[in-house]
């Protein structure tokens, strides 16, 4: 007799849906099979039983342009759980040229008491320093196996020049640390932004002019060359263009140790929204792209050129966004995302852009493998954490900010019709969200998960699609 059993669901098993029961004991998945008996049984016929989603790119309580992103670790956890996300990875913030352990300690102190789903952190650095390199072996020992660096944001002191990029990649290769990279050509973006500023063109419609697609594709190619030469594994965050995704795949074939992530905003929004009085509500970096790039991005997703969809969740309220003084240089950049990640990706299955296997892998298995959480997270394998999404594929759903839990008063997807909705989220065997009762988890109920090194398959399978 198991603690509880989800009866007669369509369980995601060996990359396909199979009719089965799924049993849970304590915090773990106990069995997948037929006629399983539980002290508690929940009928889930017609529902997809999927691994809880793993959002590897969130920014809770992030200061930006005088505002602070609206979700903290607690409200962000609730929103994620309501959408079917059971694990997220956020970022540390380096002060001065301190080492990675100091900023990790500080961010954990901020998060541990608030998180309500499981989480980890990427060690984010702006400045290359001796302490950073000295502490890399200890970083992995603290369960953090990824660094985050920037090829853009020179003005905020975050950008790495080529020499420091080279030094960081060499040091991280030696310590088995995956380097996640914001790949945009920062020098060129600063130049184009200065030009736009001098011409008085800092309206939101100029954001793509100051950050054209080629500033992304050029940076991805350059990063790939650094990866090929140093042998360091790199992961490109928020690939915004179809062309960028294609380059990630080409560079893999040419032997770069590279994998790519895109975000729902690049799959659903396009630059026509960057006009008129509400255009700045859609401001994020890299910017949303022309429709052709968006269409191509879905095609590259379908061709397995990208490994992950994560959100870059960084919500601001309309009041925060309206403080921008009509200048993109003063606009808090970022969009809400964690709660709608599973919905928007799985909707791509209904609209026949991608397969169910691709969708599930992109939001759970692949991020878990790449960031050293698999199979504990991102799988339904018996013995692993019972993190589960019970998904109803047959309901129609209209996105409205009012029905979402993220702490912002608008949604960039307002009015979008989607097929499907998450009906129940289970975190380590506990129901933390259900359609009927809403949020049922608790503040501080999430855990920091110690990560192992990245699965080499995503970086070494030369010439093969993911």
Number of residues engaging Zn ion in binding (CB under 5 A): 1
Q: What CA–CA distances, in Å, run from 446 to 30, 113, 119, 388, 430?
A: 21, 9, 7, 15, 11
Residue 290 DSSP symbol: -
Q: Which residue is nearest to Zn ion (CB)?
A: 312
Do 228 and 255 form a contact (C-beta atoms < 8 A)? yes
Q: Is 108 exposed, middle or buried (0-12, 13-18, 19+ CB in 10 A)?
A: middle
Least distance from C-beta 398 to Zn ion, angstroms? 28
Minimum Å gap between C-beta 92 and Zn ion is 13
Give me 17's structure tokens.
Answer: 């849906």
- Residues in contact with 96: Cβ distance below 8 Å, sequence separation at least 6, in sequence order: 127
Q: Does 261 bind Zn ion (CB under 5 A)?
A: no
* CB neighbour list of residue 261: distance below 8 Å, 6 or more residues apart: 56, 57, 235, 236, 237, 238, 239, 306, 307, 308, 309, 310
User: Do the bridges between strand 63-64 and strand 53-55 make them parallel or antiparallel, or are there none, so unpaired?
Assistant: unpaired
Q: Which is nearer to Zn ion, 314 or 343 (CB)?
A: 314
Distance of closest approach, residue 59 Cβ to Zn ion, in angstroms: 6
CB of 202 to Zn ion, least distance (A): 22
The smaller minimum CB distance to Zn ion, of residues 270 and 312, is found at 312
Q: Which of 71, 184, 216, 312 binds Zn ion (CB under 5 A)?
A: 312
**Beta bridge partners of residue 5, listed in sequence order:** 23, 41
Contacting range for Zn ion; rule: CB under 5 A; set: 293-301, 306-314, 340-348, 425-433 = 306-314
Which residue lies nearer to Zn ion by CB, 311 or 358?
311
CB of 338 to Zn ion, least distance (A): 12
| Candidate ranges 61-69, 305-313, 428-436, 446-454; the one touching Zn ion (CB under 5 A) | 305-313
Minimum CB distance to Zn ion smaller for 75 or for 311: 311
- Cβ closer to Zn ion: 216 or 312? 312
Question: Which lies closer to Zn ion via its Cβ, residue 312 or residue 423?
Answer: 312
Stretch that binds Zn ion, among 13-21, 216-224, 312-320, 457-465 (CB under 5 A): 312-320
Nearer to Zn ion, 181 or 356 (CB): 181
* Bridge partner list, 181: 149, 236
Give, in degrees to the nearest 5, the angle at Cα 143 between 141 and 147.
100
Q: Per CB under 5 A, which region of 194-202, 309-317, 321-329, 433-441 contacts Zn ion?
A: 309-317
DSSP 99-131: -HHHHHHHHHHHHTTT-SSEEEEEEE-SS--HH
**Which range, of 94-102, 124-132, 310-318, 451-459, touches Zn ion by CB under 5 A?**
310-318
Closest distance of CB 138 from Zn ion, Å? 25
* C-beta of residue 345 within 8 angstroms of C-beta of residue 308: no
* Minimum gap (Å) between residue 152 Cβ and Zn ion: 11
Binding segment for Zn ion (CB under 5 A), chosen from 152-160, 308-316, 403-411, 445-453, is 308-316
* E-only strand ranges, 125-233: 146-150, 178-182
Closest to Zn ion by CB, 133 vs 309, is: 309
Judged by the rule CB under 5 A, the positions of this chain that interact with Zn ion are: 312
């Amino acid at each position: 007799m198991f603690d509880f059993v989800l009866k007669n669901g369509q369980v995601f098993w060996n990359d396909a849906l199979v009719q089965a029961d799924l049993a849970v004991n304590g915090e773990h998945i106990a069995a997948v099979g037929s006629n399983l008996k539980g002290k508690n049984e929940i009928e889930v016929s017609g529902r997809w039983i999927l691994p809880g989603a793993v959002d590897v790119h969130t920014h809770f309580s992030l200061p930006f342009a005088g505002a602070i992103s609206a979700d903290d670790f607690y409200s962000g956890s609730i929103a994620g759980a309501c959408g079917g996300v059971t694990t997220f990875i956020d970022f540390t913030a380096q002060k001065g040229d301190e080492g990675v352990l100091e900023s990790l300690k500080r961010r954990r102190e901020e998060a541990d008491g608030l998180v309500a789903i499981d989480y980890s952190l990427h060690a984010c650095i702006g400045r290359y320093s001796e302490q950073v390199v000295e502490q890399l072996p200890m970083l992995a020992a603290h369960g953090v196996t990824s660094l985050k660096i920037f090829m853009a944001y020179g003005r905020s002191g975050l950008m790495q020049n080529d020499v420091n990029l080279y030094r960081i990649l060499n040091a991280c290769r030696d310590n088995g640390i995956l380097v996640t990279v914001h790949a945009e050509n920062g020098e060129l973006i600063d130049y184009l932004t200065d030009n736009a500023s001098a011409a008085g063109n800092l309206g939101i419609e100029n954001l793509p002019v100051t950050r054209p697609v080629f500033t992304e594709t050029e940076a991805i190619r350059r990063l790939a060359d650094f990866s090929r030469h140093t042998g360091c594994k790199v992961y490109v965050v928020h690939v915004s263009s179809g062309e960028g995704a294609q380059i990630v795949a080409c560079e893999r074939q040419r032997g770069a140790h590279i994998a790519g992530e895109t975000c729902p905003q690049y799959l659903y929004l396009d630059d026509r929204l960057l006009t008129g009085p509400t255009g700045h509500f859609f401001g994020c970096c890299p910017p949303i792209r022309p429709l052709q790039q968006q269409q191509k991005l879905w095609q590259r997703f379908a061709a397995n050129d990208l490994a992950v969809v994560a959100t870059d969740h960084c919500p601001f309220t309309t009041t925060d966004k309206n403080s921008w003084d009509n200048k993109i240089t003063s606009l808090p950049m970022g969009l809400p995302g964690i709660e709608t990640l599973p919905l928007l990706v799985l909707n791509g299955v209904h609209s026949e852009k991608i397969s169910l296997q691709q969708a599930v892998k992109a939001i759970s298995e692949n991020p878990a493998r790449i960031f050293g959480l698999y199979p504990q997270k991102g799988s339904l394998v018996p013995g692993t954490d019972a993190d589960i999404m019970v998904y109803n594929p047959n309901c129609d759903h209209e996105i409205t900010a009012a029905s979402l839990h993220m702490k912002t008063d608008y949604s960039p997807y307002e009015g979008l019709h989607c097929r499907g909705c998450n009906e129940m989220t289970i975190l380590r065997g506990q129901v933390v969200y259900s359609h009927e009762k809403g949020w049922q988890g608790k503040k501080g109920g999430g855990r920091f998960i110690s990560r192992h090194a990245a699965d080499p398959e995503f970086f070494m399978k030369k010439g093969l699609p993911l």
